Amino acid sequence: MFQTGIVMAHQNRDQEYLGKLQDYFSQYRNLPSYAVIGNLLGMASKSAVSALVKRLTLAGYIEMTPDKRLAPTKRFFERELADFPVPAGLPAAANDAMSESLTIDEYLIPRPSSTVLVKVKGDSMIEAGIHDGDIAIVEKRHAASLGDKVIAIVDGEYTLKTLAKDKQGFLLQPENADYAPIRPQEGLEIYGVMVGLIRKYR
Amino acid sequence: MFQTGIVMAHQNRDQEYLGKLQDYFSQYRNLPSYAVIGNLLGMASKSAVSALVKRLTLAGYIEMTPDKRLAPTKRFFERELADFPVPAGLPAAANDAMSESLTIDEYLIPRPSSTVLVKVKGDSMIEAGIHDGDIAIVEKRHAASLGDKVIAIVDGEYTLKTLAKDKQGFLLQPENADYAPIRPQEGLEIYGVMVGLIRKYR
DNA sequence: ACCCTAGGCGAACGAATGTTCCAAACGGGG
DNA sequence: CCCCGTTTGGAACATTCGTTCGCCTAGGGT
C-alpha cells in the first residue's frame, strides 16, 4: 500500500497506536494479546484491534509467526534505527549496512546458541586487523572454507588462525610475518569459524 | 520418541533448550506457545515445557509480562565472553572470575542517544586495524584527547583519523604510511570520537 | 542393590485467545 | 446537510492456551 502525499480518510491514529506498541515491546520484549492491546490503546473491542493488526500487518510492521503468534518485523523497529541519526553530508552511514537489523547483536549473531565470544590474545593476526584484546565472534562448527579465520585446536590449545592449504595439506596461517605457519601433525580440529569482530576503545 | 544417540545423563539439557529458544526468538522475535516449544525441543507434553519454563524463569532467562505472556529477559540475550573457548557445553555455572556476560550493544554503546554508526571507507587507518567496510561506533562530542580516533570535519568532508599534535598545532594523522597527515587550516571541528569497531566477515 | 528424585508423559480442565458477523458511531466530501 | 466509506462496539464462537494432577522412567547416591 502506497502512502503518497495525499491524506487518507481518518488514518493516522495508526501511527500513534504503533508507537504505543513499540513502547510496550521495548519494555516487555513481546506483544500483548488483543485484549491488552485494546485497553492499552483505548479500544473497547477486540474487533477494532483485529482490524488494526491487519492494517499494521499489511503495512509491514507486524507479522505472524508460523504458529500464528504476533511478532514485530524489522520495520517495527525503524524508530530505534532512527536513534542513530546521521548529519546531512556524512557520506556513508552504517545504517545502510545495518538497515536490516535492529541491533548490533542481531547484525553479527544470526545463531545465538552456537555463537561464542572469544577474547583475542596476542598479535599473530595483526595484519588482518585483529588486535590483542579484540573480541572475536565465533560460530561453533567443524567445517570451514579456505581463507576463513578459524579457532582451531592444536595440541589441546585453542588458536585463531587463517585456514590455508598447500601441497602437503591444511595449515594454519598466522597474519603476521613474524610467526610461522602451523602444520597440524594429525587431524586438524576446528572449533569454530570467526564471523565477526568487535573492539572497544577506552 | 527417540533419544539422540548417546543417552545423556540427567543433567542440564536446559542449556541446550535455552539455546534453541534463543535461536527461535532471534528468528521470529517472540517466544512460541508451550505446545510449539514442546515439539521444538522434542517434548511430548506441555507439562514438561511448563516445568522447563519455571526453571528458566527461576534462572532469570524468562519472565512473565503483567498480562501473563512469556517474554525473554535481558539475560536471555547475554552471552558469555570467554578468554578461551570452553570445550564441551559447560553450563553457564557463572564462574564470574573467568568470564563476564554481556550483550554486544550494551558493551559497545553506553550512551545510545549520542552514538552513531559509521561505515569506514578507504584504508587510511589500516595500520590501526581499521579496514574498509568496518563499522565505526562513534560517540558524538566535540572534545577529544590526543591519540583518540576521531571523526573530524575538514572542508565539509567527514574523515576518520587519529588526533595528534605537534609544535604547529593539532593535526589529523592517518594510520597508513601512504597517506599524509592533514593539518586543518582553520579551526578543527570534531564530530565525534570513535569508541568501538565492529566487523562482519563475509 | 536399593531408593530417591528430577524430569518427562498424558489427559482433563477452565480460562483466554483471536475470528467473525452485524450494527452503530464517526467524520470528510459533495 | 446528507451520504458513504471507514472504524469501533458488542456478542457468539471454536480453538488454543497454560495449569494441574497422577503416573512412569532413568540415573545417581548411598
Closest-CA distance, A116 to chain B, in angstroms, reads 7
Work out the mean pLDDT of chain B and round it to a whole number.
84
The pLDDT of residue B136 is above 70: yes
CA B11 from centroid of its chain's CA atoms: 30
Same domain membership, residue A66 and residue A19: yes
Average pLDDT over residues B115-138: 92
Q: Over the range B37-51, which residues count as b (16 or more CB within 10 Å of their CB) and which as e?
A: bbebbebeeeeebee
Q: Cβ contacts (< 8 Å) between B104 and chain A: which residues?
A: 103-105, 108-109, 198
Same domain membership, residue B179 and residue B116: yes
Count up the domains in chain A and report the number. 2
Retrieve residue B23's grid coordinates: 535461536
pLDDT at B62: 94
- Evaluate whether residue A150 is within a structural domain: yes
- Evaluate whether residue B55 is within a structural domain: yes
* pLDDT, tens digit (0-9, with 9 covering 90-100), for A54-88: 999 999 999 999 989 999 998 888 644 433 444 44
Of the candidates B23, B65, B119, which has its C-beta nearest A92's C-beta? B119
Q: Which of A23-37, A182-196, B167-181 has the lowest mean pLDDT?
A: A182-196
pLDDT bucket at B105, cuts 50 / 70 / 90:
confident
Query: Whole-number Å distance, CA B47 to C1' C6?
Result: 14
Which of the nucleotides lies closest to A34 (Cα–C1')? C18
Q: Cβ contacts (< 8 Å) between B80 and chain A: which residues?
A: 116-117
Retrieve residue B41's grid coordinates: 525441543
CB B149, CB B192: distance < 8 Å: no
Same domain membership, residue B161 and residue B130: yes
Same domain membership, residue B192 and residue B120: yes
Retrieve residue B156's grid coordinates: 565539509
Catalytic residues of A: 124, 161
A58, A73, A88 - which closes a domain: A73
Q: Which of A8-17, A46-55, A135-144, B189-198 has the lowest mean pLDDT?
A: A8-17
pLDDT at B17: 93
Report phi then psi at B62, rounded to 5: -140, 150
Contacts of A76 by beta carbon, 8 Å cutoff, 6+ apart: A18, A21, A22, A25, A61, A62
- Evaluate whether residue B8 is within a structural domain: no
More confident residue, B124 or B115: B124
Q: Which of A161-165, B127-131, B156-160, B177-181 has the lowest mean pLDDT?
A: B156-160
- Evaluate whether residue A188 is within a structural domain: yes
Closest-CA distance, A187 to chain B, in angstroms, reads 17
Give the whole-number percent of chain A exceeding pLDDT 70: 82
- Evaluate whether residue A152 is within a structural domain: yes
* pLDDT, tens digit (0-9, with 9 covering 90-100), for B180-202: 999 987 778 899 999 999 999 98
Q: Cβ contacts (< 8 Å) between B36 and chain A: which residues?
A: 67
Contacts of B159 by beta carbon, 8 Å cutoff, 6+ apart: B124, B151, B152, B153, B172, B182
With H, G, I as helix, E, B as strand and everything else as coil, classify residue B16: helix
Burial of B184 (C-beta count, 10 Å sphere; 0-12/13-18/19+): middle
Which of the nucleotides lies closest to B32 (Cα–C1')? D17
Helices A46-58 + A34-41 axis angle, to 10 = 90
**C-alpha span between A120 and A102 (Å, rounded):** 26
Average pLDDT over residues A34-53: 93
Contacts of A185 by beta carbon, 8 Å cutoff, 6+ apart: none
pLDDT at B99: 53
- For residue B25, the enclosing domain spans 13-102
pLDDT bucket at B80, cuts 50 / 70 / 90:
confident
Which of the nucleotides lies closest to A47 (Cα–C1')? D8
Average pLDDT over residues B75-102: 60
Contacts of B109 by beta carbon, 8 Å cutoff, 6+ apart: A104, B115, B137, B196
Contacts of A166 by beta carbon, 8 Å cutoff, 6+ apart: none
pLDDT at B100: 64
pLDDT bucket at A148, cuts 50 / 70 / 90:
very high
Give the protein-side footprint of strand C (Cβ within 7 Å).
Answer: A 9-10, 33-36, 45-47, 50, 53, 70; B 1, 10, 12-14, 38, 42-48, 51-52, 55, 67
pLDDT bucket at B172, cuts 50 / 70 / 90:
very high
pLDDT bucket at B126, cuts 50 / 70 / 90:
very high
Output the DSSP codes for A113-161.
GGEEEEE--SSTTGGGT--TT-EEEEE--S---TT-EEEEEETTEEEEE
Output the DSSP codes for A33-91.
-HHHHHHHHT-S-HHHHHHHHHHHHHTTSEEE-TTS-EEE-SGGGHHHHTTS---TT-S
B102, B123, B152 - which closes a domain: B102
Closest-CA distance, A197 to chain B, in angstroms, reads 5
Same domain membership, residue B169 and residue B147: yes
Average pLDDT over residues A145-159: 91
pLDDT bucket at A7, cuts 50 / 70 / 90:
very low
Same domain membership, residue B81 and residue B28: yes
Residue B74 is part of a domain; what is its CATH number?
A: 1.10.10.10
**C-alpha span between A126 and A68 (Å, rounded):** 48
Q: For chain A, what is the largest distance between any 2 Cα atoms, rounded to a whole number of angstroms? A: 74
Retrieve residue A50's grid coordinates: 483485529
**C-alpha span between B179 and B177 (Å, rounded):** 5
The pLDDT of residue B92 is above 60: no
